[in-house]
Structures are given as structure tokens and as C-alpha cells.
Amino acid sequence: MSTSVPDKELGKRTYRYLALSAFLVVFDFVYGLFAHGVESAYMTFAFLIPLVLGVLPCLAFRILPEAAPAAFRPWRMGFSTLIVGFLLHGVFDIYGSPSSLVPVFFWAGGILLFAGLALYVAGLFQKRAKTPNA
């Protein structure tokens, strides 16, 4: 059972993602205080992105095979882009004006997440091809 990064580093990342989720909950609360009772589901549920796309993969990498570091970069950029998109969509919902550019964040985040997953799978196949058959 090997991982791409040591368990200590995975633990640090897990705590960072949990802290980011807590920050987003507090951010939604504080922003809601100044929003005059208007709420947005995008702003409220933005905390789920680092939980689902950050903490769960960190926990899964304790048992999954080793991944290339190049796979982590687009994955982290993807969920960071999704967080920004959710927050912007929430701000525009609360403000009351739609924006045609917000969906670009969702598409870009999805493409980056897919690229990170594809690089992870490609790295697994590449690693399997390099190991000699016993």
C-alpha cells in the first residue's frame, strides 16, 4: 500500500481542506449578515466542494495506488475554480443580477477536474506498463 505523498502530507492537506470548508461556512454566514436576508444556495453549499473534492480524495489516497504529482495540480486548480465560480454565482444571486460569465468557471473547473483524473489514470497505466510481469 503506497501513496504518492507521505501520510503526514496527506494529513496536512486534509486539515487544510477542512479549514477551507470551515472558512467558507463562516464566509457565507458573515456575507449573509450583510445581504439583508437574501440567500444563495451556491454560496451556502460552496463548503461542500473542498469537502468532497479535497478531503475525500486525500482519504482515498491512503489506500489507492501511487499517483503522479502532475495529476494533483489540475485537480486542485479545478476545485479551486469551482469554489470561485460558486462564490461568484452566489454573490450575483444575492445582488440580483445574472452574469453570463459565471458558467465559464463551472466548465473550466470541470475540465480541470477531468484532466486531473485522466492524468491519474494515465499514470496508473504507465506505471503498470513499466513493472515487469512476475
Q: In this predicted structure, what is the pLDDT of residue 71?
A: 84
Residue 121 within a domain: yes
pLDDT averaged per 10 residues in sequence order, the chain, 134 residues: 62 91 95 88 94 89 77 91 95 88 94 94 79 63
The number of distinct structural domains making up the chain is 1
Residue numbers of the domain that contains 91: 7-130
Q: pTM of the prediction?
A: 0.85
Decide if 50 contacts 98 (C-beta within 8 A). Answer: no
Residue 2 within a domain: no
Residue 40 within a domain: yes
Residue 97 within a domain: yes
